[in-house]
Structure 1
Amino acid sequence: MHRLRDLVFGPGRAVSVLSVTEILSWGILIYPPVLIMPHLAADHGWSLAFGMAGFSIGLVTSGMLSPTIGHLIDRHGGNIVMSAGALAGALGLVLLTVADQRPAYLACWLLIGVAMSSTLYDPAFATLTRIFGSSARRQIIFVTFAGGFASTVGWPATHFLLEHLGWRGTFVTFAAVLACVVAPLNGFALPRTVAAAPLPAVSSSTALPEAPMRPEGWPFILLVAAFALHFFILSGVTSNLLAMLQRGGMDAATVVAVGTLFGPAQVAARLVDFLTAGRTHPLWIARGAVTLTAFAFAMLAFVGASPLVAALFAVAFGAANGVMTVARGALPLVMFGPVGYGRVIGRIARPGLFVQALAPFVVASAVERFSDQAVLVSGIVGALLALGCFLAIRAPRA
């Protein structure tokens, strides 16, 4: 009863609120463009590449603002920052429906980039750490577990709205959800409490060290590089995977079925970590995730793209990304402590968001210039480089 009361009236309601707003924010800002862009580009007479360039501008803007957004959350809390970000996203989506000129269209994505930087996982992690201090890992795990359902909500909702309202009506509907649901929840329902001092973590292998490391030098550089490599692999492959499988001889229905395994695998992996109460050190979680990624790419590259192998690849790669998201929130907390966490995680996210924006175009160009096989082998190399970075990090002993 006490826990239920805390989830409704106490600080614990931050988990309930952010679980809802993360599903909606990811399902509105990240997943729909791949379905909406062909309609938008065709209506304006633009190329699909130019349409997607707007999305890339949004990601780059998000990367540039991430440290600043994190610092603002450290100082003022997620209520103000995350609700303002949702309103900026709503405005950007509405303006997209009337932006017929290319410069205006790209300018709208600047606003949406502000929303990305202030409503997705990194600001949510910063908000939870501000509220719960060094014990925030379990809350972070739960929010990422819930957020894994964003694709389950976002893609079907986008498909339904496109069929009934068109792309403009879809954007207006999503803007209304951001303005009337996400912004009020973040602004008024998130608790405003602040951990007065770093709270003691549950006794486990992931307890915080008494003297956290400073977010600088080689440990910080290696951490940033490892997560950036993971971002590049994730963005580049997921944006081109379905087409690559079709070129490998699989029919469209089978390819779509394989693609649907990615989301549930993410959720399942996060659920395992949640049920084990986060007993495994996040550095080992990150190492295991990139090792599993390398194995998945090797299986697809050297065994071949049969339906069974492709399904195993989607499950393994999805599970790896699922726990890597947890590690991205928990590892900086363990290494650098809760003080100034928002700015630190923003600094870590910035290069990753930059490469996430570039990766789809780089991978598509590599496929055209070389081959699908070469891209898969590059994925193995990238995962092994990320593993090398994580292995070189020596976190302070708890």
Structure 2
Amino acid sequence: MSPTAEAAAPAVGSGGRSTRGRRIVAALAVTQTIGYGVLYYAFSVFLLPMQRDLGAHGPQVATALTLAVLTTALCAPLVGRLLDAHGGRGVMTAGSVLGTLAVLAWSRVESLPQLYGVFVAVGIASAMVLYESAFAVIVSWFDGNGRADALLALTIVAGFASSIFLPLTGLLVDRYGWRDALVMLAIGYGVLAIPLHALVLRRRVRRAAAKKESRTDLVRAAVRQRPFWLLAAAFTAHGGGVATVAVLLITYLVHLGHSPVFAAGVAGLLGVLSVTGRLITTGLRRRWAAARVAAAVFALQGIGAVLLPPVGATVPGAIACVLLFGIGFGVGTITLPHLLTEQYGTVAYASLSGRIALFSVAGEALAPLGAVTLAQTVGYGWVMGSVTAACLAAAVALVAYHRLSNQVVSS
């Protein structure tokens, strides 16, 4: 931890191991799973029925989700400041209320402008209730290894959101139609998320409470220094690469000659591998520096991406490349909180995380759109090359961050 972080870091207590801490993790595991399932993953199931009812083309409807993600990115810095100042209870409760109302409104849209307006609200709610906010609650409550274990437990459970909600949503749409399915999902989300956020979440009382001025000073000092921007660059590049593969992998595998069933099955490994990668990197991080571990994993992902065009047409080659890439699929999610708290402490964690999310989340929204254009123009091989470049750039930025941070500590 840097000298600045040491000066600002709160006193360590035993609250991280308390029963309350376990309840907070359990509550957030539930709300993150259902939150990602309803506010994000379910959209793909509604795409075709919305096209029919709204009389719109696929890209026009899909733009709504991109708009939501960009709205989330724009809101991230403000939400981060609110989390640092007031804790997660009020912010996440209000966000879950907004999310519930937004999904209910989604079920009633009759035109594209209405759909886009609803998804601006979904984007605001997502900024208030999804991972960045949940991580801020955990970071403020837990210390040391307890924090790493809590983040790991949360992301492992929430990592199954797509596995649960894609088939569930499909079943609801098939049986009740897309509008009634959305009403059911909205009610289910509200019934679970609103009371869990309101009644379970608490802000840990620390012996050395931070004043607003010290938090603001810490943020200002951090954003003037190279380590912060190296982190922003690393996780923006990596997030864009991961988002591109998540969106285009099935299409590219079919383009290479595989059947749609095989392509979907292999792509489904990414969810399982994201959990595996988080477990492995959390264990390795206790022996080696987190930035170096993540850099190595990102480099492996780059190798997997660059090998996919020449060897991916074979079944073993496709599986091997997906395994290499998938092992780092969720590593960025749990590495960034560790690096931020290690370097800057917990006083301004949410504010700094929000600043980075402004770039990284926007990159996750825009990179797949650029990749689709690139694929149509010059081919998928160039897309995979771009993903490789993004992963390697992220790895280089993390190595540079690690060296620079060590120089600051040693001086």
Same fold (TM over 0.5): yes
In the alignment, structure 1 residue 190 sits paired with structure 2 residue 201 = yes
In the alignment, residue 308 of structure 1 is paired with which amino acid? P
Tell me, what secondary structure is at the counterpart of 1:395?
helix
Q: Deviations over 1:110-152 (max 9, x none)?
A: 1100121111111111111122256623322221122211122
Matches within 5 A, 1:334-349: 334-349=342-357
Matching residue of 1:25:
35
Matching residue of 1:136:
147
Matching residue of 2:104:
94
In the alignment, residue 87 of structure 2 is paired with which amino acid? G
Q: Deviations over 1:372-395 (max 9, x none)?
A: 111111111121111221121122
Matching residue of 2:339:
331
Matching residue of 1:84:
94
Matching residue of 2:262:
254
Instruction: List alignment gaps of at least 5 residues for structure 2.
Output: 1-14, 210-217
In the alignment, structure 1 residue 359 sits paired with structure 2 residue 367 = yes
Give, in whole Å, the separation in 1 of the partners of 2:16 and 2:87.
Answer: 19
Q: Deviations over 1:4-46 (max 9, x none)?
A: x998842232111111111111111221112211221122110
Q: By how many angstroms is 1:97 displaced?
A: 1.6
Matching residue of 2:214:
none
Rate the CA distance shift 1:277–1:189 in 2: closer, same or farther, 3 A.
farther
Number of residue equivalences: 382
Q: Deviations over 1:333-361 (max 9, x none)?
A: 11221111011101111111112111222
Matching residue of 2:188:
177
Q: Are the equivalent residues in 2 in contact too, given 1:215–1:336 (CA < 8 A)? A: no
Matching residue of 1:158:
169
Matching residue of 2:125:
115
Q: Deviations over 1:188-226 (max 9, x none)?
A: 11233234349xxxxxxxxxxxx9983432211111111
Match 2:235 to one of 216, 227, 234:
227
Match 2:251 to one of 240, 243, 246:
243
Give, in whole Å, the separation in 2 of the partners of 1:32 and 1:373.
Answer: 30
Give, in whole Å, the separation in 2 of the partners of 1:43 and 1:323.
Answer: 39
Could you tell which deviates more after superposition, 179-188 or 10-19?
A: 10-19
In the alignment, residue 71 of structure 2 is paired with which amino acid? T
Q: By how many angstroms is 1:275 displaced?
A: 5.3
Rate the CA distance shift 1:195–1:263 in 2: closer, same or farther, 3 A.
farther
In the alignment, structure 1 residue 63 sits paired with structure 2 residue 73 = yes
Tell me, what secondary structure is at the counterpart of 1:12?
helix
Q: Are the equivalent residues in 1 in contact too, given 2:16–2:141 (CA < 8 A)? A: no
Q: Are the equivalent residues in 2 in contact too, given 1:237–1:363 (CA < 8 A)? A: no
What's the TM-score once normalised by structure 1's chain length?
A: 0.90
Q: Are the equivalent residues in 1 in contact too, given 2:95–2:128 (CA < 8 A)? A: yes
In the alignment, residue 49 of structure 2 is paired with which amino acid? H
Tell me, what secondary structure is at the counterpart of 2:207?
coil
- Percent identity, aligned pairs only, is 26
Q: Calculate the aligned-residue CA RMSD, in Å.
A: 2.2
Match 1:168 to one of 179, 193, 200:
179
Q: By how many angstroms is 1:286 displaced?
A: 2.0
Give, in whole Å, the separation in 1 of the partners of 2:69 and 2:351.
Answer: 18
Q: Are the equivalent residues in 1 in contact too, given 2:54–2:112 (CA < 8 A)? A: no
Give, in whole Å, the separation in 1 of the partners of 2:133 and 2:93.
Answer: 11
Moved over 6 A (4+): 5-8
Rate the CA distance shift 1:228–1:315 in 2: closer, same or farther, 3 A.
same
